[in-house]
Amino acid sequence: MKSDAPALEARHVSHSYGPRKALEDVSFAVSRGSFCVLLGLNGAGKSTLFSLVTRLFALRQGALIVMGCDLQREPRKALAQLGVVFQSRTLDLDLSVAQNFFYHAALHGIGKAQADARTEKLLSAVQLADRAGEKVRNLSGGQMRRVEIARALLHRPRLLVLDEPTAGLDIGARADILKLVRGLIASEGMSVLWATHLTDEVFETDDVIVLHKGILRATGSATELLRQTGAADIREAFVTLIGEKEALA
């Protein structure tokens, strides 16, 4: 791994579903230690990009580099640096919280003693240590998301990627999840790529990648995008960049 490499770099990435292009020549870099928002409406190509980064889909055009490791040439090294929270729930509802962690640990070759210690620490960090023995189906949506985030950190990745992690949550739970993930940058030295269609989840201190209909429309800090568009806020800047005012009506 190159110590000076971005946390994630996309180089001329394209992807098609038959004749339909989902991504077209997308290039960007996520800086280490940053909270980077991948902002786009539904259908922008965010989930396609995540599927390529996590190797659910085969990358046919372009390159993806995670912490200096080329995903095509060194997939195991690259994926070891990656923690993932998908838009769809991936927990086993009939297992306990702790059992979900132990299954994840086994997949990553983590021994029981280390898994026990790490699980306890991470569940404490997301304020769910008292629910370790409880079946996942008894948790609220927000609690399930916190468990998924904690589980994604079990193997100590350096980059956490989250695809619409607040989907279906109420305002309070959304705020809790955002606060939790932003805190990881300071406490764990993480880099974060957060995909959303919600402009109110973007802070002015964030880096932003604007994706629309598979095309990269802008990349830079939130303040740079405000200055570039002359907008009063991120919502207005986003509407200006994608050129579809009715989309956010």
Assess if residue 192 is contained within a domain: yes
The 8-class DSSP code of residue 9 comes to: E
Assess if residue 147 is contained within a domain: yes
pLDDT tier for residue 185 given thresholds of 50, 70 and 90? confident
Verify that 8 and 24 share a domain, yes or no. Answer: yes
118 vs 153: CA distance, rounded Å? 9
pLDDT tens, position by position, 65-85: 999 999 999 999 999 999 999
| pLDDT exceeds cutoff 50 at 249 | no
Domain boundary among 135, 156, 177: 156
Assess if residue 1 is contained within a domain: yes
| pLDDT exceeds cutoff 90 at 219 | yes
pLDDT tens, position by position, 105-139: 998 999 999 999 999 999 998 999 999 999 999 99
Verify that 71 and 164 share a domain, yes or no. Answer: yes
Verify that 10 and 107 share a domain, yes or no. Answer: no
Verify that 64 and 183 share a domain, yes or no. Answer: yes
Could you list the residue range(s) of the whole structural domain that residue 198 is in? 1-81+159-249
Assess if residue 3 is contained within a domain: yes
What local confidence, expressed as pLDDT, does residue 149 receive? 93
Q: Do 123 and 143 form a contact (C-beta atoms < 8 A)?
A: no
43 vs 48: CA distance, rounded Å? 9
Structurally, the chain folds into a number of domains equal to: 2
User: In 3-state terms, what secondary structure has residue 23?
Assistant: strand
pLDDT tens, position by position, 160-170: 999 999 988 88
The 8-class DSSP code of residue 230 comes to: T
Verify that 177 and 245 share a domain, yes or no. Answer: yes
Helix or strand (DSSP H, E) at 66: strand 61-66
Assess if residue 96 is contained within a domain: yes
Verify that 166 and 228 share a domain, yes or no. Answer: yes
Verify that 25 and 65 share a domain, yes or no. Answer: yes
Verify that 181 and 74 share a domain, yes or no. Answer: yes
Verify that 145 and 46 share a domain, yes or no. Answer: no
Assess if residue 86 is contained within a domain: no
pLDDT tens, position by position, 42-70: 999 999 999 999 999 999 999 999 999 99
Work out the end-to-end distance of the chain between its first and last CA atoms, rounded to an integer number of angstroms.
44
**Cα pseudo-dihedral 117, 131, 189, 196, rounded to 10:** 150
Question: CB 179: neighbour CB atoms within 10 A?
Answer: 9
Domain boundary among 114, 131, 156: 156
Sheet holding 191-196, edge to edge: 82-85, 159-163, 191-196, 35-39, 207-212, 215-221
Verify that 16 and 60 share a domain, yes or no. Answer: yes
Strands 35-39 and 82-85: unpaired
Q: Give the chain's largest Cα–Cα span.
A: 54
